[in-house]
Structure 1
């Protein structure tokens, strides 16, 4: 409409007052139309004083048409917007994070597989016992003395045995281990077979 600055100001004030009458004064549609007619008579072309004659006939009709298709046509909707309580929908989730307590507290340590070895060894792994520390210090102080003893003990274990004797001993140990494992497997299979047979008998009776 190519309004001037004063016309824009009056038009925005008119819109604000209409919403204020609806929201605060709970004015009905009929009262709002009457109030608009009185205000337009003061600032429209029907006013006798030219100083307050801000809008001409064309502009006044355009303002009334705009208010008719915007506010007045959807007056019930605006009343519902201002006066009806609506439920607030909060979208979100609450998460509970449990922090591991210190080592002196009766709380199980986390699984080693879930964290890196550096973090586990630095912050979670318990410190070595005192005797292990003393043993480590002794090893650091006398590595040259302990090394020959270890070498001699390792070499002395195989002195006096031939290759055939070593092979026979290994075969015997392997056979003993395999026989014990095979016996254990057979016992477990027999137990499972008896359990399955009992279930089959129950199914047959049912």
Structure 2
């Protein structure tokens, strides 16, 4: 009797079960992918940060690197115009490659080998392939491989160092030692004037008190000094102390200097005019 009922999951073809095992993990659901596709760069970064529960991007370099890893991958998939399912599988692939390095400590060669096996399952394969199993075509599979070469594989050593090497935590700070003044009665004297006896402080340091009568006298003296008018110097003759001969001598010297400058300027102008006339006369003679 031929069995026509549907085959249970436990009796499915092992190859089909292997396909389901590889395609089943979802790093981001289709709903989350649909939501991210409507966001710009900043929106994608903020939502991925929230989904990954990274809270210290400004202070934690590791969190910032991981967010950049996922954001760059998603934006690349968006530029490739992948479908929602393709974006989901590609993001899962990115996460699994990182988990192989972080959790399983795979070497670069082992991770590349694992990628080849996975791409053989979710990518095109001409031997006994059912169309519904194929997620990426040949061109897309090659583009994914090229992208992974320049992203995680090219910087594999850096990712290994980030996950597998412990780094020394550097605390930047300054220690300061502050001395506290001992209470009164200790072996050391008190600070400032408190270390001096009251008699010495009152006699030599503290200013003596000023009585009200002395203050009034000082105010009156200051008022008298301010009320005294200053001598009026505007009415004094500026020529006091000079004789008539001194004034004539100064005026003569100033007049000679002025006339000398004028005479020099006139001579220079006459000489220039003379040269011009001589040049004209020479031209007339030649004509």
Larger radius of gyration: 2
Instruction: State the TM-score, normalizing by the size of structure 2.
Output: 0.35
